[in-house]
Amino acid sequence: MIARRDLAVRVAARTDLSPTCFRVILETVDEVAAVPGQFGMLTCGVGFDPLLRRALSIAGVVRREGVTCVEMMVKEIGRGTTLLRHASVGSRLRLLAPLGNGFTLTAVEGTRLGLIVGGIGLPPVLFAAEQLAARKVGFDLYVGAASGAELLEVERCGKAAAAVGGELVLTTDDGSAGEHGFVTDALQRRLDGGCAYGRLLACGPNPMLAALTRLARDRALAAELSLEEPMACGVGVCLGCVVELEDGRYVASCKEGPVFSVDRLAERWWP
Amino acid sequence: MIARRDLAVRVAARTDLSPTCFRVILETVDEVAAVPGQFGMLTCGVGFDPLLRRALSIAGVVRREGVTCVEMMVKEIGRGTTLLRHASVGSRLRLLAPLGNGFTLTAVEGTRLGLIVGGIGLPPVLFAAEQLAARKVGFDLYVGAASGAELLEVERCGKAAAAVGGELVLTTDDGSAGEHGFVTDALQRRLDGGCAYGRLLACGPNPMLAALTRLARDRALAAELSLEEPMACGVGVCLGCVVELEDGRYVASCKEGPVFSVDRLAERWWP
Amino acid sequence: MNVRLDTTVGSLKLTNPVLAASGTFGYGLDLLEFCPPESLGGVVTKGLSPRPRRGNPTPRIVETAAGMINAIGLQNIGVEAFCREALPQLRVRGAVVVVNVFGERMEEYLEVIDRCEAEDGLAGYELNVSCPNVTAGGMEFGHDPVPLERLTAICRAATRRPLWVKLSPNAPDLVATARAAVAGGADALTLINTVRAMAIDADTRRPILANGFGGLSGPAVKPIALRMVWEVHKAVPAVPLVGIGGIETGRDVVEFVLAGASAVQVGTAIFRDPAAPLRIVAELETFCDDHKVARVAELTGGLQWR
Amino acid sequence: MNVRLDTTVGSLKLTNPVLAASGTFGYGLDLLEFCPPESLGGVVTKGLSPRPRRGNPTPRIVETAAGMINAIGLQNIGVEAFCREALPQLRVRGAVVVVNVFGERMEEYLEVIDRCEAEDGLAGYELNVSCPNVTAGGMEFGHDPVPLERLTAICRAATRRPLWVKLSPNAPDLVATARAAVAGGADALTLINTVRAMAIDADTRRPILANGFGGLSGPAVKPIALRMVWEVHKAVPAVPLVGIGGIETGRDVVEFVLAGASAVQVGTAIFRDPAAPLRIVAELETFCDDHKVARVAELTGGLQWR
Ligand SMILES: Cc1cc2nc3c(=O)[nH]c(=O)nc-3n(C[C@H](O)[C@H](O)[C@H](O)COP(=O)(O)OP(=O)(O)OC[C@H]3O[C@@H](n4cnc5c(N)ncnc54)[C@H](O)[C@@H]3O)c2cc1C
Ligand SMILES: Cc1cc2nc3c(=O)[nH]c(=O)nc-3n(C[C@H](O)[C@H](O)[C@H](O)COP(=O)(O)OP(=O)(O)OC[C@H]3O[C@@H](n4cnc5c(N)ncnc54)[C@H](O)[C@@H]3O)c2cc1C
Ligand SMILES: Cc1cc2nc3c(=O)[nH]c(=O)nc-3n(C[C@H](O)[C@H](O)[C@H](O)COP(=O)(O)O)c2cc1C
Ligand SMILES: Cc1cc2nc3c(=O)[nH]c(=O)nc-3n(C[C@H](O)[C@H](O)[C@H](O)COP(=O)(O)O)c2cc1C
Ligand code: FES
Ligand code: FES
């Protein structure tokens, strides 16, 4: 496993990406060797409330001139993420990272990969897309959101897909941009139309992942999902974040995940 | 009583005054009519930790162009004041103010007033000094601190005293500036030398106020002290901040104080 | 659509379910410009004893993580001064006033009630049998079902007004005290009072509070209070409950109501925000409207166990 | 001057008084780069049962104000896997290991101890009779002095190693359970386990935890834990206590030690900071040096009541 560390980081920049989502760049002098799918546990307050760090996927890592910039994309949903949105540039936080496993990024003979994103599920998948593009592994990228305004980083997504001749498929629940409907519906249409993917990599809200699981199981497609369970420690010691596997065992998603192959997951895990 | 309000304020500026103390300027569109000795209860975090607001004396109020600037001077001693020191300019806080009573600022026939400050006791007394100067009421100002570096706003103090021909007496515990010793010793020397004050107004740490109380009682001098008791509400409903009076009653120092006449206080109140 | 906030605690009708808690709102008249008492479901007075009490020496309060410990020791002006000075103004304003009753002996509880019975415009009584900060009275009645039932019965006999008993989270057997209060004739149960707690000054090696111990309140205790309300509701489902402990938002109120409360009280939150109870009423209204709740009262005990 | 941090809990010698708490540090080997187990006073394992346990369904944790509620349900790999997989590594490292023992029936506690007795390099046992998150075992032994004394006595007969009993803050009578554990032969008492608590989702009208209830831990409970340690210390002053509940700093350790603890455990703080126990040892050292404390052990019970 790649060495995790409790990094002293500085909020170097914050940009709005949509009405609800924003980007944070965290700067540290340490090197961070993260792979797509891994996450970090970030402090978001100073006192004991909120008590726990928040789990955030790593959207990218860039090192230059002795400084590492870790990119995260965050949706403001509750107290921790609101604090983060209002943290001033220059604030000092701590980031325990990189944690967990990552997506399998190898090519599958003769097919492309299918990358599927729902909403704020973008960061690990975009990180994967950019690394696949750099390695010239072909993929199509499906990105769904509630509305056009909530589609994040469309240009960057298009650029990554284009680099390997892949398609960027956009969908919105309200039809205000891209195809109308769920991102899994768009995927299904392409599959029905003869598109073949050697492996699906996905992150998004549970209902989307549930739909995707059914789709993948029905068609015996390999698929890896990045799951989001409430986490206290992020390092496997609290057992709060467990996911049920097909054999009935509960495993810590912060250690054995957050990326799981659909065929390992208990069916009743899906809501 | 002057109308108190729960003001929405903005941190407009923050300046270091000494290694441990800093000034905060809080801006609000509302008018604030505060008198020297009054204080406010300021929020200093966003979550439930720290839970309570912090009591801070008002050091001055300026209104111009529809904006009121409330000045506070703060010593960083614990969690709340540390948060305040690190609050970014522009942060939004709430200030419940003005609260409590104030010093008696009227002149006493034929004598000057004696104003005595220990350390971070400066804000209410400096506020008083500047108002007395504006009203041409004579006073001498005694300011004590642990060391020269901890003497706050010396120029401003000098200016206020000079405006009414008063003396500014500086003392430090370590002798690094002004007279060597406690501020109450300097006062005692002046009193022994024939100086007469119609009323003493003081704020500072409890040991200083205790010494002053003895001095005032021994010489039957009128004296008003601004006391500092731990406070939860600042508005008289928790009864956490009580001070014992000579008649044995406990009264809320946030309502009947924080300024008390020494002759009302129970002797055993002094540590 | 607008939710109906009115509710009842036993026979007592309230325009909304949010009351100010005893000991955190004075005698109802201290925060008029932030929170007029008549705008709330009701106000519970600071604990009243037959004669004025000085309370404990200082320090009396200390902040803890998301909470505070107090050991005020029931300083109060006495029932006589309350009836003469505060009550007339509360009456004129139309506030619903619940008198929090405290005594060192059973007779003292009766003395307070008897004095109040001479007055109009009082909605009811809340027996404080759970104050952790006094040596006599308080906890000793609240921890043992036998004297608690007796005390409740004696007070019951003295008034026809609604009689609430405020339970202690420190009691060995909470449900047993709840049943005892009901057996004694309580119309409703208020819970929880503060949790016995302590803070130590590592520098001086002494307790921070002059009293040594004190009672913990605020958001820190909310998860404990919520559990206790639900436990008591399951044990005595027909008994109206008044929930209290760490309530800071309208959403907190919904949680207590779902756990079984018919009304709630807001305490420590007032120290952070003098308008807290009124703000909480507004937040409750918004929550209910957003969630298409027609009447707050229909939520009581509506928790669906998984 | 340098403080001596070494201390004893009964016959057990520790190089410093800070242990990692059960359920918050895995089996001692998960956070090696942040907190090597041998650098601590000791590590207490996750509660071990005779056979592996799956634990409760999810959600198992929820954050509260300055605290968290957990209902893990004692998921563990079982004593056999622990002895084979984790213990050898802990032994090589020289860690002081206390096994937290859990069973649904008395015999299961014995099974765990018997299996461990076959192993070298274990410092002692901590009986978990206070887990609020399992239906069988746990609390029923911890709440009633009679079965608690019996369980302790049975375990006592099975080992000569130090035997600690971990007390429940939810017990009707804490001091009575303390005395029962001592009567049964406990060498030391650990307190407190988590406080029974609940969180409700106002939107879905259901408990947030799949288990309904759970146990509250973290800074929110510190003032309650401190009070309980002091109460038990006053009641049984000769019995070594291990303090636990919301410890986050070296100063917190001093407070628990003054209240009567000979050692402490750090739990939830580890979730916020994987190096917490080690950091706390360093803070404790600095505090003692600043305050001219020659030996930490001399502070135990040193609280001066006002
Ligand atoms: C491995 C992992 C990676 C993640 N990556 C990202 C990311 O890249 N960007 C991003 O915006 N978010 C991400 N999240 C989710 C993020 O951790 C939560 O949004 C965050 O914890 C919510 O914190 P909050 O304080 O804003 O909300 P809170 O105030 O804590 O909660 C608000 C509501 O959200 C629910 N909630 C809280 N935490 C979680 C959680 N972890 N999972 C599901 N529901 C929760 C609560 O029950 C509550 O109803 C990730 C989560 C995990 C486990
Ligand atoms: C009426 C009044 C006016 C005040 N004016 C000023 C002012 O103008 N400038 C200023 O810097 N400070 C002022 N104070 C003191 C200020 O409120 C405290 O310094 C502040 O509450 C400490 O907060 P903290 O969070 O930094 O410390 P904490 O972390 O809360 O405490 C640190 C230490 O200080 C002690 N402490 C905390 N609060 C108080 C208190 N109110 N009185 C005495 N000891 C306390 C604690 O017991 C602890 O040992 C005033 C206090 C009162 C009551
Ligand atoms: C400073 C203070 C004083 C209190 N005084 C009383 C009292 O006189 N009578 C009483 O029954 N409860 C008293 N309480 C308890 C509260 O009414 C309430 O039960 C408790 O604080 C929990 O609610 P909260 O977390 O909302 O504050 C007092 C609480 C505090 C904090
Ligand atoms: C996630 C979690 C799991 C726990 N598991 C156990 C356990 O297996 N056995 C046990 O005796 N205590 C267990 N505890 C209780 C802790 O050891 C400790 O008593 C409690 O959390 C209070 O300390 P803290 O506030 O420092 O966390 C657990 C606590 C938490 C938060
Ligand atoms: S978050 Fe603690 S075990 Fe995964
Ligand atoms: S601070 Fe609450 S009464 Fe004075």
Q: For residue range A209-224, what is the model confidence (pLDDT) as tens digits?
A: 999 999 998 899 999 9
Alpha helices in D236-273 (DSSP H): 250-258, 269-272
Dist. CA C2 → ligand 5 center (Å): 43
d(CA C284, CA B134): 50
Mutate to test the pocket of ligand 2, among C63, C69, C203 (most ligand atoms within 8 A of CB): C63
Residue C123 lies inside a defined structural domain of this protein: yes
d(CA A73, CA A22): 6
Q: Which residues of D150-165 are buried (b: 16+ CB within 10 A; e: fewer)?
A: ebbbbbbebbebbbbb
**pLDDT level of residue D135 (50, 70, 90 thresholds):** low
Min distance B84 CA to chain C CA atoms (Å)? 16
Cβ-based contacts of C219 with chain A (< 8 Å): 49
With a 6 A CB cut-off, is C70 part of the ligand 3 pocket? yes
In whole angstroms, how far apart are CA B253 and each of A235, B250, C52, D250?
49, 9, 19, 34
Interface of D with A in 191-220 (CB under 8 A): 218-220
Do B112-228 and B5-99 have the same topology in CATH? no
In whole angstroms, how far apart are CA A266 and each of A58, A243, B40, C62?
26, 8, 57, 49
* pLDDT value of position D60: 97
Domain count, chain D: 1
Cβ-based contacts of C287 with chain D (< 8 Å): 202
The answer to whether the CB of B218 falls within 8 A of the CB of B241 is no
- B90, two tokens: 């522009």
More reliable by pLDDT, D183 or C143:
D183
Min distance C202 CA to chain B CA atoms (Å)? 15
Q: For residue range A63-78, what is the model confidence (pLDDT) as tens digits?
A: 999 999 999 999 999 9
Q: Residues with beta carbon inside 6 Å of ligand 6?
A: B 231-234, 236-241, 252, 254
For residue C69, pLDDT over 60 is answered with yes
**Contact across the interface for B83 and A46, Cβ inside 8 Å:** yes
* pLDDT value of position D134: 61
Cβ-based contacts of C66 with chain B (< 8 Å): 47-49, 51
* pLDDT value of position A109: 87
**pLDDT level of residue C181 (50, 70, 90 thresholds):** very high
Mean pLDDT of C118-143: 80
What DSSP designation does D83 have?
Answer: I
Q: For residue range C277-286, what is the model confidence (pLDDT) as tens digits?
A: 999 999 999 9
What is the atom index within ligand 3 of the atom nearest the CA of C268?
27
* C131 C-beta neighbours (distance < 10 Å), count: 25
For this complex, say whether ipTM is above 0.85.
yes
A259-261 and A223-226 strand pairing: antiparallel
Min distance B37 CA to chain D CA atoms (Å)? 32
Q: Which of B71-75, D41-45, D130-134 has the lowest mean pLDDT?
A: D130-134
Residue with CA at minimum distance from ligand 2 atom 14: B56
Residue C178 lies inside a defined structural domain of this protein: yes
For residue D5, pLDDT over 80 is answered with yes
Interface partners of C (3+ CB pairs, < 8 Å)? A, B, D
Q: For residue range C244-301, what is the model confidence (pLDDT) as tens digits?
A: 999 999 999 999 999 999 999 999 999 999 999 999 999 999 999 999 999 999 999 9
d(CA D223, CA D54): 33
C63 shares contact with chain A (CB less than 8 Å): no
**pLDDT level of residue B45 (50, 70, 90 thresholds):** confident
Mean pLDDT of C162-176: 96
Residue D207 lies inside a defined structural domain of this protein: no
Mean pLDDT of C92-96: 97
* pLDDT value of position A1: 46
* pLDDT value of position B267: 72
d(CA A73, CA A121): 9
Tally DSSP H helices, then E strands, for chain C. Answer: 10, 16
d(CA B144, CA D161): 61
Residue D44: closest CA among D115, D101, D91, D112: D101
Mean pLDDT of A42-62: 95
User: Can you identify the CATH homologous superfamily of domain A5-99?
Assistant: Translation factors (2.40.30.10)
A50 shares contact with chain B (CB less than 8 Å): yes
**What DSSP string runs through D185-221?**
T-SEEEE--PEEEE-EETTTTEESSTTSEEEEESGGG
Q: For residue range B140-195, what is the model confidence (pLDDT) as tens digits?
A: 999 999 999 999 999 999 999 999 999 999 999 999 999 999 999 999 999 999 89
Q: For residue range B227-255, what is the model confidence (pLDDT) as tens digits?
A: 999 999 999 999 999 999 999 999 999 99
* pLDDT value of position B266: 87
**pLDDT level of residue B123 (50, 70, 90 thresholds):** very high
* pLDDT value of position D130: 76
Residues spanned by the domain of C245: 7-56+77-195+217-299
Q: Give the angle D263-D269-D270 at the CA atoms, nearest 5°.
A: 95
For residue C202, pLDDT over 80 is answered with yes
Answer yes or no: C116 catalytic: no
CATH at residue D278: 3.20.20.70
Q: Residues with beta carbon inside 6 Å of ligand 2?
A: B 39, 50, 54-57, 72-75, 77-81, 120, 123, 228-231, 258
d(CA B22, CA C186): 55
Mean pLDDT of C226-243: 98
Mapped onto helix, strand or coil, the DSSP state of residue C102 is: coil
End-to-end C-alpha distance for chain B, whole angstroms: 31
With a 6 A CB cut-off, is A231 part of the ligand 5 pocket? yes
* pLDDT value of position B143: 97
- B133, two tokens: 């100067």
Residue D133 lies inside a defined structural domain of this protein: yes
Number of A–B residue contacts, CB under 8 Å: 22
pLDDT > 90 fraction of chain B, expressed in percent and rounded:
87
Tell me the residue length of chain D. 306
Mapped onto helix, strand or coil, the DSSP state of residue A65 is: coil
Dist. CA C126 → ligand 2 center (Å): 35
With a 6 A CB cut-off, is C22 part of the ligand 3 pocket? yes
Taking the CA atoms of C216, D228, A240 and D57 in sequence, report the sign of the dihedral they define: negative
Interface partners of D (3+ CB pairs, < 8 Å)? A, B, C
Nearest by CB to residue D272, choosing from A3, A52, A250, is: A52
Mean model confidence pLDDT for chain D = 95
Interface partners of A (3+ CB pairs, < 8 Å)? B, C, D
Write the CB contacts of D163 (distance below 8 Å, at least 6 apart in sequence): D124, D125, D127, D152, D155, D156, D185, D186, D187, D188
d(CA A186, CA D92): 56
Find how far residue D276's CA is from the centre of its chain. 15
Min distance D248 CA to chain A CA atoms (Å)? 10
Residue with CA at minimum distance from ligand 5 atom 3: A236
What is the torsion angle, in degrees rounded to the nearest 10, for the CA atoms of residue C221, residue C224, residue C225 and residue C230? Answer: 160
Nearest by CB to residue B230, choosing from C33, C61, C275, is: C61
3-state SS, C130-141, equals: CCCCCCCCCHHH
Mean model confidence pLDDT for chain B = 94
Mean pLDDT of D264-273: 98
Residue C305 lies inside a defined structural domain of this protein: no
Cβ-based contacts of C233 with chain D (< 8 Å): none
The answer to whether the CB of D42 falls within 8 A of the CB of D96 is yes
Mean model confidence pLDDT for chain A = 94
- B80, two tokens: 């709340």
What DSSP designation does A66 have?
Answer: T
Q: Which of C1-10, C82-91, C112-121 has the lowest mean pLDDT?
A: C1-10
User: Does the global pTM surpass 0.80?
Assistant: yes
d(CA C152, CA C163): 8
* pLDDT value of position C305: 87
Q: Which of A157-161, C33-37, C139-143, D278-282 has the lowest mean pLDDT?
A: C139-143
**pLDDT level of residue C134 (50, 70, 90 thresholds):** low
**Contact across the interface for C270 and B237, Cβ inside 8 Å:** yes
* pLDDT value of position C141: 82
Q: Where are the domains of chain A?
A: 5-99, 112-228
Find how far residue B201's CA is from the centre of its chain. 10
For residue B1, pLDDT over 50 is answered with no
Mean pLDDT of C121-125: 96
pLDDT > 70 fraction of chain C, expressed in percent and rounded:
96
Please tell me whether the peptide bond between A258 and the residue prior to it is cis, using omega within 30 degrees of 0. Answer: yes
Residue C90 lies inside a defined structural domain of this protein: yes
**pLDDT level of residue A2 (50, 70, 90 thresholds):** low
Residue with CA at minimum distance from ligand 2 atom 16: B55
**Contact across the interface for A79 and B49, Cβ inside 8 Å:** no
B112-228 is a CATH 3.40.50.80 domain: yes
| The one catalytic residue among D35, D83, D116, D131 | D131
d(CA B100, CA A17): 47
The answer to whether the CB of A141 falls within 8 A of the CB of A178 is no
- The percent helix, strand, coil of chain B (3-state, each to 5) is 25, 35, 40
Please tell me whether the peptide bond between B98 and the residue prior to it is cis, using omega within 30 degrees of 0. Answer: yes
